[in-house]
């Protein structure tokens, strides 16, 4: 396990060669723009949840701008009416999975087709770039696609050579970012390296998923961790308390008061500056049984982003109860307390439960936002191509109903469109999102707790 963690640390460290992405600040409006991997929304929500819990007083808005099936050319088409219309001050732009194609790699002219697709992707990107350069007030961040898993040993969706083509797209993305002095976040290379390393132990393993394309919840946490790493947020503790021989040695990102201590009991009041990141244990991506918690076996997420440490030295040998607000959290030895207990990983603490409620609200926010993404999916993938963009009238809905009989993707989104075609209902969805965000920033403020360590 240590070797695997070392590998991902090396991969993450490679990002330092690129311009650092500035951490998001108060009142930022950030939109992640991409394809179905972004539309699924998990990594976007994880980045948002980190900010909600770790920076409770820094209110920001993070929006999903993903649409399934998108290539760079599709993103360019919807840039104004979907992306810029949301008035972001930061755009995170990613593409590449669909740009490079799929079944073409099983044909006789695979190399030629790949070159043509890469050239078309670059040309479309240059149109996006030209438009974004006209908007100097917006921070632009380019981000590579997560990898296509070409090496996992199982059947289905195998397109030999696609990985190489995706690497070429990532290469021109990085070069474009450097040319414009924009930050670049590399997901493809670090995730490929880690995926390959894990497959040395199990050739059927995939960090991505059974279709080799769409990461599950664990893969999305890896993506989120890479993004947070690019912002220089590694190692910022939730809190860190150190007590030695009854004296307070350290209180990072927290306040400790009223400390009393003997060799058999320690008591103090504790107010952290942040909440822990509540790691989810439910698979939430259709067709992929990965759980977010699975990623803790692959990457040092806890070490990097989720440490709420309590260290107490000088206790008599023996076992001790840890109580918070009078409730037992668990039992540890004096040696365990001397080494440190990570409270962020204890689901019975009141601060974890508070953070879990924030996670649930964030999930509800993302679910509501997905309705809006369905509406824009239909606009971009259906109406825009038929010169019926934003008509939202009887002719539009009749056309969508007819074509949805034979188009499964359209059929999936068409129900939400029939509601979202009314601007008043879209406004109601957005109002619901805004209400949830406001509620999050009321409920995410850490509160003071009484901590007691009592010898059994």
Please report which confidence band the pLDDT of residue 19 belongs to, taking 50, 70 and 90 as the band edges: low
What CA–CA distance (Å, rounded) separates 68 from 51? 26
Gyration radius of the chain over CA positions = 24
Please give the average per-residue pLDDT across 267-272, as a whole number: 98
Global confidence as pTM: 0.94
pLDDT recorded at residue 14: 44
Q: What is the pLDDT of residue 5?
A: 45
CA distance 404 to 409: 8
pLDDT tens figures, 120-171: 999 999 999 999 999 999 999 999 999 999 999 999 999 999 999 999 999 9
- The pLDDT mean for the chain works out to 94
Residue 256 clears pLDDT 60, i.e. is over it: yes
pLDDT at 15: 42
Of 302, 226, 233, 296, the residue nearest 10 (C-alpha): 226
Portion of the chain with pLDDT greater than 90, in percent = 92
Q: Which pLDDT value is given to residue 109?
A: 86
How many CA atoms does the CB half-sphere of 43 hold within 13 Å? 33
Give the integer Cα–Cα distance in Å for 20 and 227: 10
CB-based contacts of 324: which residues, under 8 Å, 6+ apart? Answer: 349, 350, 449, 450, 451, 452
What is the predicted pLDDT for the residue at 2? 45
426-445 average pLDDT score: 98
Mean pLDDT, to the nearest integer, of 320-342?
A: 97
User: How much of the chain, in percent, has pLDDT values that exceed 70?
Assistant: 96
pLDDT score recorded for residue 296: 97
Q: Where are the alpha helices (DSSP H) in 134-216?
A: 162-180, 188-199
Q: Which pLDDT tens digit goes with each residue over 289-325?
A: 999 999 999 999 999 999 999 999 999 999 999 999 9
Reading the block at residue 255, the tokens are 């306040």
List beta partners, residue 324. Answer: 327, 451
User: What's residue 349's pLDDT?
Assistant: 98
Confidence tier at 110 by pLDDT (50, 70, 90): confident
CB atoms inside a 10 Å sphere around CB 155: 5
Q: Report strand pairing: 449-455 vs 265-272.
A: antiparallel
Residue 356: which pLDDT band, with cuts at 50, 70 and 90? very high
Q: Which domains does the chain have, with CATH numbers?
A: 2-230 (3.40.50.1110), 239-273+291-347+445-455 (2.60.40), 354-443 (no CATH)
- According to the model, what pLDDT value does residue 87 have? 98
Average pLDDT of the residues in 206-235: 97
């Amino acid at each position: 396990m240590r070797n695997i963690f070392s590998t991902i640390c090396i991969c993450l460290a490679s990002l330092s060669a690129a311009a650092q992405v500035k951490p998001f600040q108060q009142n930022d409006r950030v939109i992640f723009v991409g394809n179905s991997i972004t539309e699924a929304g998990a990594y976007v929500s994880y980045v948002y949840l980190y900010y909600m819990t770790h920076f409770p007083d820094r209110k920001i808005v993070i929006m999903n701008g993903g649409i399934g099936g998108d290539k760079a050319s599709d993103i360019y088409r919807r840039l104004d009416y979907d992306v810029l219309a949301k008035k972001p001050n930061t755009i995170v732009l990613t593409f590449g999975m669909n740009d490079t194609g799929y079944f073409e790699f099983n044909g006789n002219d695979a190399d030629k087709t790949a070159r043509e697709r890469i050239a078309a992707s670059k040309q479309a990107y240059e149109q996006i770039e030209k438009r974004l350069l006209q908007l100097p007030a917006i921070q632009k961040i380019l981000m590579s696609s997560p990898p296509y898993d070409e090496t996992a040993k199982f059947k289905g969706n195998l397109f030999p050579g696609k990985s190489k083509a995706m690497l070429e797209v990532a290469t021109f993305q990085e070069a474009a970012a450097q040319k414009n002095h924009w930050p670049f976040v590399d997901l493809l290379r670090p995730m490929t390296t880690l995926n390959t390393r894990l497959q040395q132990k199990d050739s059927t393993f995939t960090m991505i998923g059974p279709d080799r394309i769409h990461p599950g919840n664990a893969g999305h946490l890896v993506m989120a961790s890479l993004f947070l790493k690019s912002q220089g947020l590694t190692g910022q503790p939730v809190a860190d308390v150190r007590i030695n021989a009854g004296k307070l040695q350290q209180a990072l990102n927290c306040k400790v008061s009223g400390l009393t201590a003997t060799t058999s009991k320690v008591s103090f009041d504790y107010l952290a500056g942040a909440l822990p990141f509540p790691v989810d244990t439910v698979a939430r991506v259709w067709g992929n049984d990965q759980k977010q918690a699975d990623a803790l076996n692959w990457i040092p997420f806890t070490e990097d982003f989720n440490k709420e440490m309590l260290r107490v030295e000088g206790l008599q040998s023996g076992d001790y109860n840890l109580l918070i607000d009078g409730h037992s959290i668990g039992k540890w030895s004096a040696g365990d307390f001397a080494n440190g207990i990570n409270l962020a990983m204890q689901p019975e603490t009141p601060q974890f439960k508070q953070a879990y409620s924030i996670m649930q609200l964030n999930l509800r926010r993302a679910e509501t936002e997905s309705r809006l993404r369905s509406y824009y999916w239909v606009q971009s993938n259906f109406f825009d191509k038929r010169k019926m963009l934003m008509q939202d009238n009887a002719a539009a809905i009749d056309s969508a109903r007819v074509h949805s009989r034979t188009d499964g993707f359209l059929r999936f989104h068409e129900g939400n469109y029939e509601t979202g075609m009314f601007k008043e209902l879209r406004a109601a969805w957005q109002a619901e999102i805004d209400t949830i965000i406001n509620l999050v920033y009321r409920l995410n403020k850490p509160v003071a707790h009484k901590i007691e360590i009592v010898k059994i």
